[in-house]
Structure 1
């Protein structure tokens, strides 16, 4: 996989400008497997904190009301969006028999913390209040995010708990970034500082674009691992990659959730690197993860 990235002349994000980095991500996601057909795929607008946000609805059975999965994309708060995540979302909607709504929050550095988080909170609340707009079942809500999206989902769950809901049935965090990279002392940050696929320098670059100041890195809405109280949060599924600088902070967050009485399941994908869910054309673990998520989302409905 890393050889393919070198052959494609994919540079490290921290050496690029933001527009250059966004263009690089497009080349990386071109390595995804071909898209699968979904009965209904449509673009909509949902309310954000400062206006309407683009969102894409994936409905595998438009004549049925299905559970709602609100997906928040990764990309270090700087990259990513509906298009790079399109194929993984298609696969998940079909495999899980759920309505997946992919939300495109405002990105950094144009909109720094807390703007992207406020977008996610507002969008989730609107979708939970208006499930008929996307053909979903109001009684079943799951929040799913990968990498920076995992950060935003964890923070959204905290905000919903403290701000009157709604309460999701589950939060699913895929290799989430949960505390600023520059001050991290986790062993995985040292062991995999040079990757593969994600480096410490790149994570520092992403966090620097997201946070207006170093002090914001102590705010649990920006860094959920800093939260004092994790009780009362939705049950969690935490997925980490063995070869990821972020591995240990994801495991630490799972431990803290359990200690706070939150039912939490953890999977470590051996031999996988950060961001692998978006790379199903190259990494077999991506398809395995989609099947794991689908089983979890179908559980109790069959």
Structure 2
């Protein structure tokens, strides 16, 4: 896409942010990025919040899942829980990199945020990351007294790949009845593994493009593809044919990113199934624009939409 096709608020940032997709297609660069981010960020607390790390046992008993727990420092009583899943194309990232999001969620409504450091796809392909997130979600369900959470429904949310994992968790919660999810926030979610192979949806834009998307899906689905197995909806939620019974949903997406059409299709499917959806599209905006150019007017609008709607859904579906 050309700069003229981008939202005017974002054009000046197109060139510096265009280097990011190339980094994500290089496995060595991804490994370096993860090592640096882990060294600099892991264990970093957020000012004004009570922060701690817990080690959640995996359901298979093979490992423990490093999980960050955040709560307002000035609140002693039981709190609703948001299980927040970080993004990173399934191949990069950690919970601490989402500190800005987490702090604002807690500041919007008093709540506890539980954020798993799930296994990244170059270390372990699907279902590893998904299983880690599910284990943390069910651990939250079973440990309300230890956590200091209330026993009402939890919310689940995340950006990008974290949004994809959010949608997958909501599917499994509905299918199994194991967890009562009050609402979900799959924000510009990475949910459709067929996008990179569809020429009509080719997107070359800053931050995350079709080439990076191809690399992310290749790593995440590597074991399934190697064994010739079908891709299940828990891996790529866009493959789900029945969206009925899913929780109320908050999401937004820019029109100039690979996840635009799949997000729109997901929203349309949810609405057709009778699910309440709060949704906005942002014309000419690339992936994660509200995080990478946070002071732009269009970014502030997307931020305000996210947190205002989170507050509304929190009041209606977690504490109402």
Of the three residues 46, 49, 55, the one matched with 2:67 is 55
User: Cα distance 1:249–1:7, how it changes in 2: closer, same or farther (>3 A)?
Assistant: closer
Of 305, 311, 318 in structure 2, the residue corresponding to residue 295 of structure 1 is 311
Could you tell me how far apart the structure 1 residues matched to 2:17 and 2:169 are? Answer: 36
Query: In structure 2, what is the Cα distance between the partners aligned to 1:106 and 1:142?
Result: 21
TM-score (norm 1): 0.85
Q: TM-score, normalising length from structure 2?
A: 0.81
Shift of 1:46: 2.0
Residues 153 and 171 in structure 1, CA contact (< 8 A), matched pair in contact too: yes
SS of 2:138's equivalent? Answer: helix
C-alpha deviation, 1:229, in angstroms:
1.4
**DSSP-derived class of the 1:296 partner:** helix
**Runs of 4+ residues over 6 Å off in structure 1:** 24-27
Are the structure 2 counterparts of residues 15 and 84 from structure 1 closer, same or farther at C-alpha, using a change threshold of 3 Å? same
Match of 1:167 among 172, 180, 201: 180
Deviation at 1:164, TM superposition (A): 3.0
Point out where structure 2 has 5 or more consecutive residues left out of the alignment.
1-9
- Spell out the pairing of 1:230-269 with structure 2 (5 A cutoff): 230-269=243-282
- Pick closer, same or farther for the CA change 1:25–1:278 going to 2, 3 Å: farther
- Could you list the per-position Cα deviations for residues 200-244 of structure 1 after superposition, in whole angstroms to 9, with x for gaps in the alignment? 001001101110244556311111111121111111112212322
Partner of 1:183: 197
Q: Determine if contact 2:207/2:286 at 8 Å carries over to the other structure.
A: yes
Q: How far does residue 277 in structure 1 lie from its aligned partner after superposition?
A: 4.6
Go from structure 1 to structure 2 and tell me whether the alpha carbon gap of 1:111 and 1:42 turns closer, same or farther (over 3 Å shift). Answer: same
The answer to whether residue 295 in structure 2 is matched with residue 279 in structure 1 is: no
Structure 1 unaligned spans of 5+: none
Q: Give the corresponding residue for 1:156.
A: 169
1:13 lines up with 2:23 in the alignment: yes
Provide the aligned length of Structure 1 versus Structure 2. 292
* Distance across 2 between alignment mates of 1:80 and 1:63: 31
